[in-house]
Amino acid sequence: MPRRLAWEVLEAVAAGAYADVALERVLRGQSVSPADRGLVTELAYGAIRQRRCLDGWLDRLGKVPARKQPPRLRWLLHVGLYQLLWMERIPPAAAVNTSVELAKRHGLNRLAPVVNGLLRAALRARDAGEQLELPQDPALRLALQYSLPDWFCQQLLSWCDLTQAEQIARASNQVPPLDLRVNRLRSTPAEVTAALEARGLTVVPIAECPDGLQVVGSGGDLRQWPGYEEGHWCVQDRAAQWVAPLLNPQAGDRVLDACAAPGGKATHLAELMGDQGEVWAIDRSAGRLQRVAANAARLGTGCLQAMAADAAALLEHKPNWRGAFQRILLDAPCSGLGTLARHADARWRISAESVAELVPLQARLLEAMLPLLAPGGTLVYATCTIHPAENGQQIAAFLEAHPQLVLAHERQRWPDPAGGDGFYAAVINT
C-alpha cells in the first residue's frame, strides 16, 4: 500500500496539486500504520525532489526518454528508482517486485515487463557503481546533480560562487529538521526539553534561537507529544524564528503582521510582548486565518486579533489606522526559493517569470505599509526567498524612493545543510 499511495501523490502533483495537500488527501481514510505513513511520505517527497535525477536515469536506461513516457508509467518508475538509488534500507527485490505488481494491478499490465527490465538495469548500474554523466557547464551540472531547474542554478551562480551554490543546492535536497519554538507564556525550553525527553525523544537547543529546540529523529504524531495541546510549543523553522525578534516588540505596542497566515510569526510577536498590547494578523484568505486563530487559541495569545483584508489596501478599509502601529511586519508573498527542502514540489512550480511577477506586488505592499507606521516606528520586510530581486534589490529601490527612511539592518540567510531555510529580512526605521 505505501508504494501505491506514493505513486498517487506523484500523479496528483504532476496534475497540479501541492505535495502536502496531495499527501494528506491520499492518506485520509486509509488505515495506515505510523511506519507506513512515514514510508509514503519519504517515497513521495523524495521522488518529487529527485525528479530531475530520476528522469536522468530513465533517459539513460530506457528506450523512450522520460518526458515521452506515459505519465503513469513515468511516475511509477520514479517510485521504484527512488527506492533502488536513494533508500538503502529497502531490499532491492522488494523495490522491483512491488513496482511490477503495481503495474499489473493498476492498468499498466502490458508495461510490466518494461518496469521489470528498467528497474533491474538500474540495479545493475547501481551495483557496478555507475553514476549519471554530468554536463561540463557548471550550472547544468549543478542542476542535474542536485535535481534543480536549469534557470535556478544559472541564476544561483550569478549570486554566489560555486562552493556556496553547491551548499545551497545540497541543503535544498535534505529533509528539513523538525524545529520547535517554545512558548514563553506557558513554558520554558528546559521544561519542554524534559517533557519530550521523558517521552523518549532527543532534543537539542538551536544556536541563535533562544526559544528554539530541534527534535532529532521521529516520534509519531507530534500532536500527541507532551505540551502540544497545552500550547507549550509550536513548530517553526529556526530561520523563521529569527524574524519576529527583529521588530523588538514591547509590551503595550500596537503591532501589525500584514501577511500573517498561518500565524507563526504573529503568535511569536504576541509571546515576545508578554501578551500585552495588540497584534493584528491580516491575511487575504479567511480560510487561512482560521489557522491563525486556532494557533493563537492553543498558544494562549489573547492579544492577537485576526482580520481578513488585502494588506495593500488596508488604509481604505481602516482610515483610522494611519500612523497607528509602532511595529509592522511585512512577511511578503515571495517565490519561496529559500524553502525548497521544506516544499518538495516548489522547485518545479517556480520560474524566472513567476519571480518577476511577484516583485511589483511586494513593492505595492511596502508602499502600503508606510502610512500605517507611527513616527519613530519600525518596519521589518521579510521573505523566505534567496532571490536578490525580491530582497536586497527590492529594499534598495524602496529606500531610494523614500530617503527619509533608515535601513538599520539587513541580512540574507542562505539554506543551510545543517538546518534552516533561506530567509531575508530588512529592518527599516522612520
Tens digit of pLDDT at every position of the chain (430 positions): 899 999 999 999 999 999 999 999 999 877 878 888 889 999 999 999 999 999 999 999 988 899 999 999 999 999 999 999 999 889 999 999 999 999 999 999 999 999 999 999 999 999 999 999 999 999 999 999 999 999 999 999 999 999 999 999 999 998 889 999 999 999 999 999 999 999 999 999 998 899 999 999 777 788 899 999 999 999 999 999 999 999 999 999 999 999 998 889 999 999 999 999 999 999 988 888 888 989 999 999 999 999 999 999 999 989 999 999 999 999 999 999 999 999 999 999 999 999 999 999 999 999 999 999 999 999 999 999 999 999 999 999 999 999 999 999 999 999 998 888 999 999 999 9
| Cell reading at 319 | 482610515
Query: Is position 209 annotated as part of the catalytic site?
Result: no
Q: Enter the pTM of the model.
A: 0.92
Look up residue 284 and give its DSSP letter.
Answer: S
Domain 178-235 has CATH 3.30.70.2170: no
Task: Kindly state the helix (H) or strand (E) to which residue 205 belongs, with its residue range.
Answer: strand 202-205
- How many Å apart are CA 155 and CA 165, to the nearest integer? 10
Cα–Cα distance, 310 to 284 (Å, whole number): 5
Residue 139 is given by DSSP the state H
Of 112, 154, 120, 132, the residue nearest 54 (C-alpha): 132
Please tell me the total number of residues recorded for the chain in this structure: 430
CATH number of this structure's domain 2-127, picked from the four choices 1.10.940.10, 2.160.20.10, 1.10.3720.10, 1.10.10.10: 1.10.940.10
272 within 8 A of 249, measured Cβ to Cβ: yes
- Say if domain 240-429 classifies as CATH 3.10.310.40: no
All structural domains of the chain with their residue ranges: 2-127, 143-172, 178-235, 240-429
Handedness of CA 268, 237, 16, 29 (dihedral sign): negative
- CA separation for the pair 419, 214 (Å, rounded): 9
| Active-site position among 153, 234, 303, 384 | 384
